[in-house]
């Protein structure tokens, strides 16, 4: 057990210290677990959640086609037509980014919405830094709202065998979607307060952005429809959702090739798939399989149960608070991947319903990333866009929005989840 713990801890330290190489570090560590026998070959394939990997690949590829069609830009134009000033533009763009990120990857959402914000700020000669930060943190918030909103949601949904509708209604009660939306409402008030002095008028476009192709939008809608339909199938293969997402991506790629009459139409969407994330997930799945086989997960579950004093509310609180703090400094994907089996072990050890613990884990880890500039990939992406545009982002700029936004979202979600599933 000790060698497995040492390898696991060293891997995380290296991932934090050398973030540019985290994918290679995770894969190398996973390989060591296999080669040393800490992860038996017989358990290698079962340790990898292929459903999660296929869903990520499929949705990211479709989002690329969706963005290229200019549908997001047109939707943003419509929103801008309805708002009177910069203050409400900031709130609207934040909510718009949140809505999109409930169904597509957070990073993709920032890439879609940020250019619109930059264009507006340029016309008004307004600092775009707070706009992009607000869009980034809102994208992180809404990622936990649906099954396909974020990698962490996909992982939890796969682990619990949750359907798309389970994120709205689970075990006869309103589910985590409403916890997220409650937090989103209060967080929007925070954004409104932060931008309260931005009263410049919004110039109206003479004409809206024209959508070049509606097929990607149809395919993205079909993903949601088919995921919902599949949720009603009582017995289905474990990779059903992943196959749905990848099948529709394949249709989209074939359509793109036929339309553009060039194979390069396939390359562009596939380049937008974050294979770095895929790689790190594969490595982490192998690492988790290894420490699980060595009994580390069970031992950690027992320690966590003792930390909560076998009091479910105390345990729930520990998980939420720890998730917020930890995910403020490290990527929430490896953290959630590690904690899912730990939570399962704790619930089994105490013979309790694990639902509030799982939902607390997801909400805390997703929202905690908004505390710091490096807490989530969407934050890093937003800051990168600003740097490329010639703007410097200070830590204070981020904290001014990220910390109150996080508190406004975490606290109501924390109360909601416990009221619905803990009492």
Query: pLDDT by residue (tens digit) across 216-258?
Result: 989 988 887 887 777 677 777 878 888 998 999 999 999 999 8
According to the model, what pLDDT value does residue 63 have?
A: 78
C-alpha–C-alpha distance, residues 139 and 155, integer Å: 18
Model confidence at 28: pLDDT above 90: yes
Q: Which helix (H) or strand (E) holds 205?
A: none
Q: Domain ranges in the chain?
A: 2-422
Q: What is the mean pLDDT of residues 297-320?
A: 78
Mean pLDDT score of the chain, rounded to an integer? 83
What kind and span of H or E run contains 174? strand 173-174
Percent of the chain at pLDDT > 70 equals 93
pLDDT at residue 330, as a whole number: 64
pLDDT over 90 at 414, yes or no = yes
What is the separation of C-alpha 316 from the centre of its chain, rounded to a whole number of angstroms?
A: 21
Please give the pLDDT value at position 17: 78
* Residue 105 banded pLDDT, cuts 50, 70, 90: low
The C-alpha atoms of residue 233 and residue 15 are separated, in whole angstroms, by: 40
Identify which of 15, 97, 117, 105 has the alpha carbon closest to the alpha carbon of residue 59.
105
Name the 3-class secondary structure at 85.
strand
Out of 48-57, 65-74, 302-311, 344-353, pick the least confident.
Answer: 302-311
Alpha carbon 261 to its chain's center: 34
Mean pLDDT: which of 140-144, 205-209, 299-303, 351-355 is highest? Answer: 351-355
H or E stretch at 173 = strand 173-174
* DSSP structural state of residue 170: E
Task: Tell me what percent of the residues of the chain surpass a pLDDT of 90.
Answer: 15
Mean pLDDT (whole number) for 179-201:
85
pLDDT at residue 195, rounded to an integer: 85
- pLDDT given for residue 199 in this prediction: 75
- Residue 372, pLDDT above cutoff 70: yes
Average pLDDT over residues 100-118: 77
Residue showing tokens 């009221």: 419
Model pTM? 0.72
Tokens 């359907």, residue located? 163
In this prediction, residue 248 carries a pLDDT of 93
Q: Which tens digit of pLDDT belongs to each residue from 128-143?
A: 899 999 998 888 888 8
């Amino acid at each position: 057990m000790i060698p497995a713990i040492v390898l696991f801890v060293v891997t995380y330290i290296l991932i934090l210290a050398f973030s540019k190489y985290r994918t290679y570090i995770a894969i190398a560590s996973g390989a060591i677990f296999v080669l040393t026998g800490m992860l038996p070959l017989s358990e290698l394939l079962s340790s990898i959640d292929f459903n999660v990997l296929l869903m990520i690949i499929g949705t990211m590829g479709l989002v690329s086609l969706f963005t290229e069609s200019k549908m997001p830009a047109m939707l943003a134009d419509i929103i801008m037509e309805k708002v009177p000033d910069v203050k409400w533009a900031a709130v609207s763009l934040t909510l718009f980014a949140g809505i999109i990120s409930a169904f597509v990857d957070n990073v993709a959402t920032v890439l879609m919405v940020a250019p619109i914000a930059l264009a507006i700020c340029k016309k008004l000669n307004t600092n775009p830094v707070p706009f992009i930060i607000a869009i980034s943190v809102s994208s992180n918030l809404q990622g936990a709202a649906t099954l396909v909103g974020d990698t962490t949601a996909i992982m939890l949904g796969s682990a619990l065998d949750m359907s798309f509708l389970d994120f709205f209604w689970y075990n006869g009660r309103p589910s985590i979607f409403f916890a997220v939306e409650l937090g989103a409402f209060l967080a929007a008030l925070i954004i409104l307060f932060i931008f309260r002095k931005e009263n410049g008028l919004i110039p109206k476009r003479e004409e809206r952005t024209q959508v070049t192709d509606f097929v990607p939008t149809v395919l993205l809608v079909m993903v949601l429809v088919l995921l919902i339909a599949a949720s009603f199938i009582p017995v289905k293969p474990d990779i059903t959702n992943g196959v749905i997402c990848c099948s529709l991506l394949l249709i989209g790629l074939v359509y793109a090739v036929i339309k553009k009459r060039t194979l390069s139409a396939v390359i562009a969407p596939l380049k937008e798939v974050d294979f770095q994330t895929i790689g790190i997930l594969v490595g982490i799945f192998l690492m988790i399989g290894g420490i699980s086989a060595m009994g580390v997960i069970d031992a950690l579950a027992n320690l966590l149960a003792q930390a909560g004093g076998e009091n479910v509310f105390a345990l729930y609180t520990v998980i939420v608070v720890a998730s917020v703090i930890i995910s403020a400094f490290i990527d929430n994907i490896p953290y959630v991947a590690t904690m899912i089996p730990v939570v399962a072990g704790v619930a089994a050890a105490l013979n309790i319903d694990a639902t509030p613990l799982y939902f607390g884990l997801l909400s805390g880890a997703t929202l905690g990333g908004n505390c710091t500039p490096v807490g989530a990939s969407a934050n890093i992406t937003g800051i990168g866009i600003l740097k490329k545009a010639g703007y410097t982002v200070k830590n204070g700029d981020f904290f001014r929005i990220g910390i109150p936004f996080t508190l406004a979202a975490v606290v109501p979600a924390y109360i909601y989840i416990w009221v619905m599933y803990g009492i």
